[in-house]
Amino acid sequence: MYKLTNISNKLFYKLLVLIILSSTMVMLISGCTPQPLQEIPNDIPEQPNPEHPGNTVDPVQGPIQEPIHPSEPTVSPISTAALLEKILDSPLWQDKPLCQYPQDSFNALIADFKELQEFMQRKDGAAELLARYLNTDILAPFSIMETMLAQQPILNSLDNSHLQELLSLTWDKYQAKQKLPDVDHSNHLGWLLGKILQQIDYYPFQQQIEKNQTLQDFLTDGVLKNNSVLKIIEQQTEYYLADNNLLPQHPNLDPNQEEFEIIPSRTNPKWNKLKAKVNLSEFQLTENGMQWSAFAPHNRMTNYSFDYPQTWNFDGLSLFYKDNQKIAELAPAAETQIALITIAENYEPVALSGTELLAKKVYTLGKYDILKIIEKFPDYGLNTFCYSYTYLVQYEKQLFTILFYSYDLEKTEEELFDQIVASFQWEKP
């Protein structure tokens, strides 16, 4: 048995302090430091500190997921076909010189045109636009669609077969427009042809682009500064279509069948006489103005003649001054069931063309009925206005049309035009 030994009070207190210190050290080493009591929250959840938007962690549930809000479309969710229809009918296109400055006009327009912005981003937009364009009349002016088709996002969305289809149709339209007094639209179609060839990456055409700065500029902005670039585009388009067996097989008007002969005039020693043997087309009057069909019904021909000053040059479609300034253009000879007085009563210039109708007059000269239309339209290239004098000469069902240009309204010009038209005759084959 152990014998208890009496411990002094002083020694007892020293042992007690040592025991407390030892216990405290053990608790610190084991991580069991007493935690302060947490306050129990009320029913209102604690809001994250507004000064720290990244504080999205709940101490109980973990990371807080932000609610997902689907982005609202720029345009109401309508079909692409309906969206295209809305774009084509928009008044925003009005007075835009698409045929003279197509790319600059488009860039300025799309900046505030939400429907057009939406359409250019839609994956099926290019296919819808091409399908719509393929169903248009070959001679109707559709510069809006052609400007849209020439945009890089649209061309990038078309595969090679669709690009070839577009090239073939545009080539047909371009050739048909060459026979009409619509120079600006012909140039516009030439721009689209060049853009398509460039997108197809036709190697001979790429070589032409690399060495011709004027051609590069034309493909970039669509502003024609030199007619030589159109000749390059025409030649390269024909080469490509021939190389790929894409030349049209339909009974198109063959210009080789048409004949033009220039002889001295018998009535005026300082004038020439043009004798023409040409295909007959079909004339119609629509909401898009006067239209001539691209194909001659039954391949029938007709003959006519008229006199003009010897100082003018004729190239098969147009008449030029000696300085190569165009003075007149010939429309296709045509047949029509429409009486000339009906044409006069219903003709109005196309609203989007910026053309102002100045006068219409119907008169009779011998056995011919004649309609003269005088109009004023902007020449964006020269930053001025040009005046056109269109004469339609009808005998029974046959219709001849010639258009003259002038940059003023001097009476002497109009008298000269009247004198030329007065010399016109339908000739026997």
Query: In 3D, which of 297, 302, 242 has the Cα closest to residue 424?
Result: 302
Residues 204 and 311 in one domain: no
Residues 374 and 421 in one domain: yes
Among 218, 243, 268, residue at a domain's last position: 243
pLDDT given for residue 96 in this prediction: 85
Within a domain: 127? yes
CA atoms within 13 A on the CB side of 179: 27
> Tokens 């043009």, residue?
274
Q: Which amino acid is at 27?
A: M
Q: pLDDT digits over 134-173, tens only?
A: 887 766 668 899 999 999 999 999 999 999 999 999 998 8
Q: pLDDT digits over 386-398, tens only?
A: 888 999 999 999 9
pLDDT given for residue 179 in this prediction: 64
Q: Give me the mean pLDDT over the 397-402 stretch.
A: 94
Within a domain: 359? yes
Residues 283 and 233 in one domain: no
Q: pLDDT digits over 299-310, tens only?
A: 678 999 999 999
Residues 188 and 225 in one domain: yes
Q: pLDDT digits over 342-383, tens only?
A: 999 999 887 666 788 999 999 999 999 999 999 888 765 556
Q: Are the C-beta atoms of residues 290 and 179 closer than 8 Å to each other?
A: no
CA–CA distance, 370 with 206 (Å, rounded to integer): 49
Element (H, E) at 346: helix 340-346
CA 207, 210, 211, 212: dihedral to nearest 10 degrees?
110
Q: pLDDT digits over 80-138, tens only?
A: 999 999 999 999 998 888 888 999 999 999 999 999 999 999 999 999 999 999 887 76
Element (H, E) at 319: strand 318-320
The yes-or-no verdict on residue 11 having pLDDT over 90 is no
Element (H, E) at 395: strand 384-395
Among 184, 214, 243, residue at a domain's last position: 243
Residues 357 and 291 in one domain: yes
Within a domain: 66? no
Element (H, E) at 405: strand 398-406
- Domain at 421, CATH number: 3.40.1000.10
Q: pLDDT digits over 200-209, tens only?
A: 999 989 999 9
CA–CA distance, 194 with 228 (Å, rounded to integer): 13
Q: Are the C-beta atoms of residues 234 and 266 closer than 8 Å to each other?
A: no
Residues 104 and 227 in one domain: yes
C-alpha 424 chain-centroid distance: 39
CA–CA distance, 415 with 329 (Å, rounded to integer): 17
Alpha helices in 113-272 (DSSP H): 114-121, 125-134, 143-149, 152-157, 160-177, 183-200, 203-211, 213-221, 228-243
Domain that holds residue 218: 82-243
Please report, in angstroms and rounded to a whole number, the separation of the first and last CA atoms in the chain: 157
Q: What percent of the chain shows pLDDT beyond 70?
A: 73
Among 243, 271, 297, residue at a domain's last position: 243
Number of domains forming the structure of the chain: 2
Cβ-based neighbours of 294, under 8 Å, separated by 6 or more: 138, 139, 172, 175, 176, 252, 253, 281
User: Quick count: other Cβ atoms within 10 Å of Cβ 185?
Assistant: 21
Within a domain: 233? yes
Residues 407 and 292 in one domain: yes
- 178 against 307, higher pLDDT: 307
Q: pLDDT digits over 52-83, tens only?
A: 444 444 444 444 444 444 444 455 589 999 99
Strand pairing report for 281-286 and 271-279:
unpaired
Within a domain: 76? no
* pLDDT tier for residue 16 given thresholds of 50, 70 and 90: low
pLDDT given for residue 184 in this prediction: 66
Residues 397 and 331 in one domain: yes
Query: In 3D, which of 356, 429, 339 has the Cα closest to residue 392?
Result: 339
Using the 8-state DSSP alphabet, how is residue 337 labeled?
A: S
Cβ-based neighbours of 371, under 8 Å, separated by 6 or more: 340, 343, 344, 360, 361, 362, 391, 392, 394
pLDDT given for residue 325 in this prediction: 80
Within a domain: 164? yes
Query: Where is average pLDDT lowest: 250-254, 327-331, 356-360?
Result: 250-254
Residues 184 and 207 in one domain: yes
Residues 266 and 415 in one domain: yes
Whole-number Cα distances in Å, 14 to 6, 10, 378: 15, 7, 114
CA–CA distance, 405 with 67 (Å, rounded to integer): 67
Query: In 3D, which of 316, 180, 172 has the Cα closest to residue 256?
Result: 316
Within a domain: 117? yes
Residue 113 burial (10 A CB sphere; 0-12, 13-18, 19+)? middle
Residues 224 and 274 in one domain: no
Residues 263 and 216 in one domain: no
Within a domain: 392? yes
pLDDT given for residue 289 in this prediction: 78
